[in-house]
Structures are given as C-alpha cells and as structure tokens.
Copies of this chain bind each other. A is one copy, B any other.
Amino acid sequence: MQQPAPGRRAQQRQQRLAQILGAAEQIFATSGFEGASMAAIAAEAGLPKANLHYYFGTKEALYAALLEDLLRLWLSATDAIRPDSEPAAALEGYIRAKMAWSRSRPHASKLFANEVLRGAPLLAAHLSGGLRALVEEKAAVLRGWMAEGRMAVVEPRHLFFAIWAMTQTYADFDTQIRLVLDVPALGDREFDDGVATVLRLVLGGCFADSARQHG
C-alpha cells in the first residue's frame, strides 16, 4: 500500500468529502444548523475538527454544500409528471418516489425541514427560483389534465404542498409516528400503510371514481 498509485490523492479526497458530508447530514438533521457543532460532526466522521475546516472552510459552507446536493434531488423527483403521462399513474409514481425518498434519506429530509423552519435563509433564492419555476411548470401540466376532464379541478400548487407534507412527514416526524404506532422503528409495514393512505387521499381526491379500487 506504500507505492504512490497515481490519483491516490484525488481518490482519498473524494472519500473524505463523502465521509464529512455524511456525518454532517446526520448531525445537522437532528440538531439543526445552530445546534450542530463542528466538533460533533468531526467526531461522527472520525476526523479531527481542523480537517473539516480544511475542506469546507466554514460551518455554513459545509451546510450550504449539503443543501445544494439536497435540492438537486428534490427537484428531480417530479420527472414522472409530463403532459403525455397518464394522470393517475404520474401522481402515483411521484408519491411513491417521494415516499421512497423519505425512507431512504430521512436525514436529508429533516435537514431540509430544519432549514425551511428557520425561514430558509440559505435556500430562499433557490425556492423562489428553481423550485417555483418547476412547480409552475408541473402545475401547468396538471391544469392541462383538468381542462381535458382527466382529473378533478384542484389548485395544483396546493396539491403539491399536500403531497410534500404527507410524504415528508414519514421522515421528518418519524419520532411522533413511531411513538403513536408504538413500534421501535418505521419499517415495511408502516411505509406500506403510509403509501396506501397517501395514494387513497390523493387519487380519491383527484380521480373520485377510481378511488374505491385502492382500498
């Protein structure tokens, strides 16, 4: 392991970055920006604190890097909603994707929640820029379907708010759900029930006739 394999430096750099980002996501998610300490993140990553500063400069820059990655994921989830999609299938796909995301990346979801709760100081520009444009675009698709009578008339943007809220609650509020359901952790059963419930509400609300098939 001593020979200077070419690119060893770059490779280790990537590993360290991932190590730090992973630890930071977890700590920031459960403690919030202010509550998290660089020392705690360093401990979680198994690195000296000064090393984090070497790679990211400041705590805020590290936090911002996480949010950047995060938002890219967030925005890409709506891909299934396109004018040529079948409306119910498109919404179902979107809900399933969001729900899967809540399950696989709960820390990321909590991080996002924390940031928005704080008033989104670092995300405001993205929210009123990229996200607004995306929502506007997808809302137009839904309005098209409504005009064609292929789905019920709802304010499309509020429909998105509802879907976001219901799906992300399984990540953000997992503690509450866990305690109310009296289970040690959310597993297959809880997520299946969650998906079924969200699908029923959304499909029932947007495609009243077909709703009864989803019980």
Contacts and interface: CB of A to CB of B under 8 A. Distances in A.
Interface of A: 29-35, 110, 113-114, 116-120, 124, 127-128, 131-132, 135, 152-155, 157-162, 164-166, 168-170, 172-173, 175-177, 179-182, 193-194, 196-198, 200-206, 208-209, 211-212, 215
A120 B206 contact: no
Given A34-B34, A132-B182, A201-B204, A169 B158 contact: no
For the residues of A in contact with B, the DSSP-based class is: helix
29 contacts: A30-B117, A32-B34, A32-B117, A34-B34, A117-B173, A120-B179, A124-B175, A124-B179, A127-B175, A128-B182, A131-B179, A132-B179, A154-B215, A155-B197, A158-B197, A159-B197, A160-B180, A161-B180, A161-B194, A165-B166, A165-B169, A201-B202, A201-B204, A202-B205, A205-B205, A205-B211, A208-B208, A208-B211, A211-B211
Contact of A205 (B29, B158, B200): B200
Contacts of A152: 200, 204, 211-212, 215
Nearest to A207: B204
Contact of A32 (B114, B128, B209): B114
